[in-house]
Amino acid sequence: MPVKVSYDQDCKMTITGVDCACGCEHHAIDKDIYIGKDLLPRIPEYIRKRGLGANCVLVADDNTWRVAGERVEKALVEAGFTVVNCVIHREGDMLPDDLSCGEVLLSITRETEFLIAVGSGTVTDTTRINAERTGLPFVSVGTAPSMDGYASAVAPLLHRGLKIQRPAVCPEIIVCDLDVLATAPLCMIASGVGDVLGKYIAKADWQLGEIINGESCCPVCVEMVTNAVNALVDNVDEIAAKTEKGMRVLIEALLLAGVTIMTTDNTRAVASIEHNIAQYWEMILVQQGQEPPMHGASVGVSTLLVWPMFERFAKEDLSKLDLEDIRARRISREKRERWMHHAYGDEGGNQIMRENPGDFLTWEEQERRIRTAQERFGDIQAVIAAMPPLTKIRETMLKLHAEMTPEEEHIPEDLLRRSMHCGKDYRTRYTLFKLIDECGLLEEYLADYPYPFA
C-alpha cells in the first residue's frame, strides 16, 4: 500500500500506508499535524482537543513574534489560557545554543503545563530540548518552510560551540498556516528546498549502509522522502511564486521528512554527509564568532558539492584496488585521534569519538567492507543511477535564486577543504565518503576538489 497524505475538515493531516515489516524499530504517528489557511485562531481549539492544559510558555524570537507570535498569544489569552512569553532578543540571528536553551528553561515555572514554539528551526529545537528535559509536551507553530525539523524527535544544538545532536521529543501538535509560511523571504524558502534536496544523498547513503553493512533500511521511509523530494522538484515554479499549492508541497515535503524521524526515532532517512558538512561549517563559524548561513541553504550547497563524488564512484573499477597497499596506508588510532582534535578541537573531537566508537575500524572489518563493495558493486551503481541528474537539482535551486557555492555562503577555502575531509567523521552512520575512504581513494578524490561547477 503506497504512502498517502489526506486532510479532514479541520485541516488535520492523515498519513496512511506507513505499516512496514523492515528491521527498523517503528513508532506510531500519533501527533496532530495541521496544514491550511487561517489556522492561528484555531490553535486554542487544537490544544484543547489534545488536552495539554491551560498554562503555557510561548517561545519566539524577535522576528517570529512579529510574524505570528503576537497573534498566537492573543488567540490563547482570549480563549482563557495563561501565557508566559519567552521572546528571545538577539542583535543577530538567534542560535540554538546554551544561552537560548537556558532562557527558555528559566521561563518555565511549576505551573507550566506545556510549551509552544512559534518559529522555525532554532526556536523549535530550543523548545524541543526543554520539553524533553522537563517532561512537558509542546506545540510547534511553523513560521517558515525553511527546514525539516518540525516533526523531528532530535534536537541539533550548539553546546560550547560544538554542533551536537540530542534525542528529544516530537511536538504533540504542529500547526503550519500557509499564509504565514508565504510571508517568509525567498531565501528561507530556498533554504527549505535545499534541506529537502539533500534527501537524495541521505537516501543513497542509507541504501549503501544496507548493502555494505546489512543495515536495516526502511522502504516506507525511503518512499516518503523520495515522493516528497520528487514533488518538490516537480513544483518548483509554484514554490518560487509562493502560491498556496507551492507552500503546501514544500511544507509537506519538510514534514514528511520529519515524520520519518518520528517513525524510526533517528535521522537516517533525511541526513547524511551533506548535513555533516553543513553542520561543520556552522559550528566552526560560530566558534570563530561569525554568523553561520542558514542550515538548509548550507545543506543545499553541500549537496551540490558531494553529488559529483557519487557520479565519479559509479565509474570506479574496484577490482583494481590493492588491498595490501590500502592496509599499509591505514591511519593508526593515534593519528586518527590527532586528526579529530585538529578538525573538531580537543573537546569536540573527544566528544565525537566517545559517541562514535565504531569509527575505529579493525583491518578485518575494513577489508570485509571493501570486499563487499567489490562483490556488490552493481547494487551500488544501481543506487547511484537512481539519483536524478545533477543538472535537475541545479535548475531547481536556480529557479529559487538559492545560494549554490561555498563562496556565496562565505565559507573560507581552508574551512571548505577541511570539511570535505572530516565530514565523514562526524558520526558513525555509513556514507559514500566512508566507503571511498575505506577503499583508500579519498585523498585521490579530494586532491582537486571541489570540482568546478558545470
DSSP-assigned letters across all residues of 10-23: T-BEEEE-----SS
Residue 50's H or E segment, with its range, is: helix 43-50
- The answer to whether 405 and 258 are in contact (CB under 8 A) is no
- Which pLDDT belongs to residue 453? 40
The terminus-to-terminus CA distance of the chain in angstroms comes to 40
Residue ranges in 288-431 assigned as alpha helix (H): 295-313, 323-328, 333-355, 363-375, 377-385, 390-399, 413-422
**183, 204, 223 - which closes a domain:** 183
CA–CA distance, 192 with 61 (Å, rounded to integer): 19
Position 191 in a domain: no
Beta bridge partner(s), residue 119: 142
Full pLDDT tens readout for the chain, 454 residues = 688 899 999 999 998 888 787 878 787 788 999 999 999 999 999 999 999 999 999 999 999 999 999 999 999 999 999 999 999 999 888 999 999 999 999 999 999 999 999 999 899 999 999 999 999 999 999 999 998 889 888 888 989 888 888 989 999 999 999 999 999 999 999 999 999 999 999 999 999 999 999 999 999 999 999 999 999 999 999 999 999 999 999 999 999 988 888 888 888 999 999 999 999 999 899 889 898 899 999 999 999 999 999 999 999 999 999 999 999 999 999 999 999 999 999 988 999 999 999 899 999 999 999 999 999 999 999 999 999 999 999 999 999 999 999 999 999 999 999 999 999 999 999 999 999 999 999 999 998 776 554 3
Domain end, chosen from 183, 200, 234, is at: 183
Residue 213 parent element (H or E): helix 199-213
| DSSP β-ladder status, 13-16 and 4-7 | antiparallel
318 close to 212: Cβ distance less than 8 angstroms: no
| Judgement on whether residues 179 and 277 belong to the same structural domain of the protein | no
Count of the separate structural domains present in the chain: 2
For residue 39, the enclosing domain spans 4-183
* 106: exposed, middle or buried (Cβ count in 10 Å: 0-12, 13-18, 19+): exposed
Count of all residues that appear for the chain in the document: 454
Whether 313 and 442 map to the same domain: the answer is yes
Residue 35 in any domain: the answer is yes
| Residue 269 near residue 220, CB atoms below 8 Å | no
Residue 76's CATH number:
3.40.50.1970
pLDDT at 311: 96
Q: For residue 198, is it within any domain?
A: no
Residue 161 cell numbers, joined: 560551540
User: How confident is the model at residue 314, as a pLDDT?
Assistant: 98
Domain final residue pick, 166, 183, 200: 183
Q: List, in sequence order, the alpha helices (H) in 356-429.
A: 363-375, 377-385, 390-399, 413-422
170 and 312 part of one domain: no
Residue 258 lies in a domain: no
Whether 172 and 30 have beta carbons less than 8 Å apart is answered as: no
